[in-house]
């Protein structure tokens, strides 16, 4: 009995000694984006080989703490660069060059082992392998429809419509200025590509943009290239859409709770000739629905490989000067539709005597996409969800 007590008394100091000797497990970049559940919705799963490996400095932590003390700090003034090993960015693609965090997350950012934090110019296009971190403006800084003179409108949750967690208010807003709009956020895209198309003369502008969307778009480009389709000319037709702008284009077919308002959706087309129009991807001598369907094929392959990037894909046969295009999002659940026809609850196919035969040729019967290219009574939708 005496021996047992002696051994137990040694357990506590032994444990304390081992705790002091054994270093804690290094934090990963993914842990940063799950702090408090606030920015977890913007997280991108990182491969080990895409994480920064340079040791962090004390100056980094002090600069981060200073930035976090002011929740109104602007994006242009609060940008930092990572110096990752090699030429890779982050994300599943290794081609995402931007991070979007809240001001209070700067301290945690600087404390991550392997991150070298330094002041940076608002222009980072000369070093595409670096990661630019944007400090977002909090959603709470929005006053009614406005933020700093820029009209945003009201999100669905502000009006009592929350269909799921995916439709909650955004965490915050990226401030876009004439100085930083050309900043590269991934290998193929710049910040200006995702700005809402309204209020062209108003500065600063504000954008909601999620890193998983950038990641998925880069993976789609990579997949198409691997399958013999030159997708280097993939362009953003429409990225973020303010709720105010989304409401203004409702008559053109946009959904009331469009994913464009949440920064995780983009309408894209592939312009190989540089003429601002969808190209003939399959080489049949014409630009048609069959070409835009090749983007869907790439999305299917990417989602099968990376289920964490699952989302919606809508195909639009004809719309505006760019021609056919595809809607791609990372809402977290699978959805497919054709020219605005969403096939979530019904398997019924809407037929149109003018367009159905042509589209049926492009889509095999076993395909998960609706075979019809028209809405009820042949009416088409010009803009996606």
Average pLDDT over residues 329-340: 90
Looking at the domain assignment, is residue 78 inside a domain? yes
Question: Is residue 131 very low, low, confident or very high in pLDDT (cuts 50, 70, 90)?
Answer: confident
Same domain, 242 and 172: no
Number of Cα atoms under 13 Å in the Cβ half of residue 51:
19
Q: Is residue 14 part of a domain?
A: no
Q: Do 98 and 185 form a contact (C-beta atoms < 8 A)?
A: yes
Task: Dump pLDDT digits (tens) for 221-239.
Answer: 999 999 999 999 999 999 9
Q: Report which DSSP code applies to 22.
A: S
Asked if residue 6 is part of any domain, the answer here is no
Provide the strand spans (E) within 88-222: 98-101, 118-119, 131-135, 137-138, 146-147, 150-151, 172-176, 205-207
Q: pLDDT at residue 174 above 60?
A: yes
257 and 141 in a single domain? The answer is no
Residue 317 pLDDT class (50, 70, 90 cuts): confident
Clarify whether residues 243 and 340 are in a common domain: yes
The pLDDT of 332-336, averaged and rounded, is 96
Same domain, 147 and 218: no
pLDDT of amino acid 250:
81
Judge if 303 and 326 occupy the same domain: yes
The answer to whether residue 257 is domain-embedded is yes
Task: Indicate if 83 and 215 belong to the same structural domain.
Answer: no
Would 189 be classed as within a structural domain? no
Same domain assignment for residues 174 and 221? no
Torsions phi, psi for 257 (to 5 deg): -110, 45
User: What would the mean pLDDT of 44-53 be, rounded to a whole number?
Assistant: 32
Is the confidence at residue 325, as pLDDT, over 50?
A: yes
In a domain, 139, yes or no: yes
From 139, 174, 205, the end of a domain falls on 205
Q: What does the pLDDT average to over 345-371?
A: 40
- Average pLDDT rounded to a whole number, residues 178-201: 97
* Range with the poorest average pLDDT among 3-7, 167-171, 197-201, 266-270: 3-7
User: What pLDDT is stored for residue 114 in this prediction?
Assistant: 53
252 is a domain residue: yes
Q: Say whether both 145 and 60 belong to one domain.
A: yes
- Antiparallel, parallel or unpaired: β 98-101 and 131-135: parallel
Domain assignment present for 13: no
For residue 126, give its domain range: 27-184+196-205
Quote the number of domains for the chain: 2
- Provide the pLDDT for residue 116: 44
Do 136 and 238 lie in one domain? The reply is: no
Dmax over Cα atoms in the chain, in whole Å?
94
Buried b (16+ CB within 10 A) or exposed e, 337-365: bbbbbebeeeeeebebeebbeebeebbee
Considering the domain architecture, whether residues 292 and 363 belong to the same structural domain is answered as yes
pLDDT of residue 339: 76
Q: Are residues 269 and 152 in the same domain?
A: no
Mean pLDDT computed over every residue of the chain: 73
The pLDDT of residue 300 is: 98
What's the pLDDT at 105? Answer: 79
Which tens digits make up the pLDDT trace of 149-167?
Answer: 999 999 999 999 988 999 9
Q: What is the pLDDT at residue 119?
A: 33
pLDDT band at 19 (very low <50, low <70, confident <90, very high): low
Whether 45 has a pLDDT exceeding 70, the answer reads: no
| d(C-alpha 63, C-alpha 57), whole Å | 10
pLDDT more than 70, % of the chain: 58
Q: What is the mean pLDDT of residues 66-79?
A: 36
pLDDT value of position 6:
43
**In a shared domain, residues 219 and 180:** no
Indicate if the pLDDT at residue 287 is higher than 70.
yes
Region 242-268: mean pLDDT is: 91
Burial status of residue 169 (CB atoms within 10 A of its CB: 0-12, 13-18, 19 or more):
middle
> What distance in Å separates the CA atoms of residue 371 and residue 356, rounded to the nearest whole number?
7
Residue 350 pLDDT > 70: no
pLDDT at 63 over 70: no
Instruction: Give the pLDDT band of residue 298 (cuts 50, 70, 90).
Output: very high
């Amino acid at each position: 009995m005496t021996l047992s007590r002696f051994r137990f008394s040694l357990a506590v100091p032994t444990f304390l000694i081992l705790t002091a000797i054994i270093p804690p497990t290094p934090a990963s970049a993914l842990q940063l984006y799950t702090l408090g559940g606030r920015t977890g919705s913007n997280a991108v799963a990182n491969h080990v080989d895409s994480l920064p490996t340079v040791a962090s400095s004390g100056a980094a932590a002090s600069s981060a703490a200073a930035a976090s003390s002011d929740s109104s700090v602007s994006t242009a003034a609060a940008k930092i660069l990572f110096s990752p090993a090699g030429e890779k960015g982050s994300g599943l693609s290794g081609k995402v060059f931007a991070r979007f965090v809240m001001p209070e997350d700067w301290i945690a950012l600087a404390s991550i082992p392997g991150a070298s934090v330094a002041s940076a110019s608002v222009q980072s296009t000369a070093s595409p392998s670096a990661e630019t971190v944007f400090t977002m403006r909090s959603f709470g800084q929005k006053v009614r429809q406005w933020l700093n003179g820029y009209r945003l409108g009201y999100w669905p949750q502000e009006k009592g419509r929350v269909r799921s967690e995916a439709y909650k208010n955004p965490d915050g807003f990226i401030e876009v200025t004439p100085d930083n709009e050309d900043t590269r956020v991934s290998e193929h895209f710049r910040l200006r590509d995702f700005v809402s198309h309204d209020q062209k003369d108003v500065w600063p502008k504000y954008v909601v943009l999620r890193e998983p969307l950038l990641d998925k778009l880069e993976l789609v480009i990579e997949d198409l290239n691997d399958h013999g389709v030159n997708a280097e000319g993939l362009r953003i037709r429409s990225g973020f859409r303010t709720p105010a702008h989304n409401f203004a284009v409702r008559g053109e077919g946009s959904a009331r709770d469009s994913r464009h308002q949440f920064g995780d959706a983009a309408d894209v087309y592939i312009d190989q000739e540089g003429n601002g129009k969808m190209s003939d991807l399959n080489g049949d001598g014409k630009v048609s629905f069959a070409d835009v369907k090749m983007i869907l094929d790439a999305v299917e392959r990417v989602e099968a490989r990376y289920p964490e990037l699952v989302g919606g894909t809508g195909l639009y046969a004809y719309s505006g000067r760019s021609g056919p295009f595809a809607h791609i999002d990372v809402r977290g659940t699978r959805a497919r539709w054709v020219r605005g026809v969403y096939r979530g609850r019904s398997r019924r196919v809407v037929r149109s005597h003018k367009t159905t035969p042509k589209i049926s040729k492009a889509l095999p019967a076993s395909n998960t996409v609706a075979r019809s290219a028209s809405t009820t009574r042949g009416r088409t939708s010009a803009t996606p969800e």
